[in-house]
Amino acid sequence: MPGTWSNGGGGGRVPLLGVTVMRVQRWGEMSEPARDALVARGLDDIFNPQLRDSIGALIDDVRRRGDAAVCDALAKFDGITLTPGQLRVTDDELDSATVSEAVDRAIDDAITHLRAFNEHQLERFDDWSFEPEPGLVVGEKITPISSAGLFTPSGKASYPSVAYQLAVPAIVAGVPELTLVVPPAPDANGQVDPAVLVVCRKLGLRQVFRVNGPAGIAAMGFGTETIPKVRKIVGPGSPAVTLAQVEMQRHGVATMMLLGPTESLVIADHTADPHRLAADLLVEAEHGTDTSVVLVCTDSATATTTDIELERQLGELPTVRAKAARAALGPNGGCVLVESLDEAVAIANRYAPEHLQIAVDADEVERVLAGLVNAGEILVGQHTPFSAANFVIGCPASLPTSGFAHVSSGITAATFLKRTAVVGADETALRRMGPSVIALADHEGFPAHAAAIRRRTQSDLDSVEPARWRR
């Protein structure tokens, strides 16, 4: 029976026969360096010095030479020769793109759910104001950003789902100018995946360009003769694409941190179905050899059965997907055995996964959910697999990776909105605040700040003694 283990007398891992699919560790016996190694994933590849130098040179080339550099990058990295006039996807290509009837219906289903989620979210971002004291009104005005660039990856697979996951929130938010770049499909003579074009047509996107990933990020950031300049760029991709977005921040472009190699974490106890656990662990695991997938489990028997089931289900995957999954569940992730759900929650919060699923006893769900604070998404129960959330449910699926769920969120309508403070004071309120403004301005050594108040209310504020301290 391959892929099994038992608990030895000391509570550690004791392998039985063969090699398990999942690397297995017991949290209580792991050293701090081992714990850090489990949690720290993805960043070394993204911030590799050689890759950074290469991407930096490419970005500078696009800044200097525009379309010519973009075409050279396509030829060098994708083996596709195009002229600047061929970078933009034509209206005929958009209008004639087709997919199967089943895929067409699925895209409509997904767009409907995404619109509903983001429109509901948008209702919570109305302008607001209140009066903290008589005569003073403060609040915020919520407006969309002026333009956005959407990067849809290509190469490992077709990703129409990324196109609508990025575009629908931006459209709901009201962004007036949207540009989408997508690398040409491999071995397709420069053609773009028709499913991506169908998504663009359904959503009314007409600024669509076939561009190499990092070069496309730079092109949208600077603007070229053909590709419009945008204010914010979003979209997941390879370490090169992610690093290009990070580097473009130096040039004043807003990007999301970080949308790198995918990852998932599942919290499970003795009630979880190992068959479904294995299936759900493989969802993100099949993406690539840079993926990380972790099962945090309170029950060694459940973990054992899940590992056996993983071995069986891996046999049903294509070789390239099975290889990716073994890396994701082996050296990149694996199973962590814990003593309690509280310990599992603490590990999940430390890991801050992109995708997180709870597969625990129904009586424990609310307590576990309440304790989770760091995750791109939380899927509750084994009827909510990662694949359903990735494709159709409507919650964000472009989510922070590499631990950035500690500080950031997935791409929704909120991603494309900005807040502007709006404040108004009458004379009564200004007179009331004046002494405080003058005292602080004098203390910090800004006489013009204080003068702006004194010149309005001199007769009433002569008694305010200036501070003696100066810079």
For position 379, what pLDDT does the model report?
Answer: 98
* Residue type present at position 96: S
* pLDDT bracket for residue 350 (50, 70, 90): very high
pLDDT of residue 305: 95
Distances (CA, A) of 173 to 119, 314, 430: 8, 41, 36
Q: How far is CA 297 from CA 277, 337, 343, in A?
A: 11, 5, 10
Q: Does domain 5-30+261-397 have CATH number 3.40.1790.10?
A: no
Whether 257 has a pLDDT exceeding 90, the answer reads: no
Instruction: Quick: pLDDT tens for 112-166.
Output: 999 999 999 999 999 999 999 999 999 999 999 999 999 999 866 678 999 999 9
Question: How high is the pLDDT of residue 239?
Answer: 84
Catalytic residues: 354-355
Quick one: pLDDT band at residue 459, thresholds 50, 70, 90?
A: low
Confidence of residue 237 (pLDDT cuts 50, 70, 90): confident
447-461 and 427-444 helices, crossing angle to 10°: 130
Assess contact for 111 and 202: CB atoms under 8 A: yes
User: In 3-state terms, what secondary structure has residue 29?
Assistant: helix
Please state, in angstroms and rounded to a whole number, the distance separating the CA atoms of residues 46 and 48. Answer: 6
Is residue 63 over pLDDT 60?
A: yes
The phi and psi torsions of 25 (rounded to 5 degrees) equal -135, 150
Read out DSSP for 246-259? Answer: HHHGGGT-EE-S--
Q: Does the pLDDT at position 299 exceed 50?
A: yes
Domain boundaries of the chain, sorted by first residue: 5-30+261-397, 49-256+414-419, 426-471
pLDDT, mean of residues 179-187: 90
Residue 134: CB partners within 8 Å, gap ≥ 6? 428, 429
The band of 42, judged by pLDDT with boundaries at 50, 70 and 90, is low
Q: Is the pLDDT of residue 55 over 80?
A: yes
The set of residues, in sequence order, having a beta carbon less than 8 Å from that of 388 and lying 6+ positions away, is none
Task: Summarize pLDDT for 362-373 with one digit per residue, the tens.
Answer: 999 999 999 999
What pLDDT, on a 0 to 100 scale, did the predictor assign at position 15? 42
State the sign of the Cα–Cα–Cα–Cα dihedral 452, 455, 460, 462.
positive
Q: How confident is the model at residue 259 (pLDDT cuts 50, 70, 90)?
A: confident
Compute the distance between CA of residue 220 and CA of residue 213 in angstroms, rounded to an integer.
11
Intrachain domains 5-30+261-397 and 49-256+414-419 with the same fold: yes
Measured on CA atoms in the order 70, 74, 75, 80, is the torsion positive or negative? negative
Looking at residue 440, its pLDDT comes to 97
Q: What pLDDT, on the 0 to 100 scale, is given for residue 4?
A: 37
Counted residue by residue, the chain has a size of 471
Average pLDDT value over all residues in the chain = 90
CB atoms within 10 A of CB 227: 27
Please answer whether residues 457 and 434 qualify as being in contact, where contact means their C-beta atoms are separated by less than 8 angstroms.
Answer: yes
pTM of the model: 0.88
Q: What is the pLDDT of residue 156?
A: 63
Fold assignment, 49-256+414-419: Rossmann fold (3.40.50)
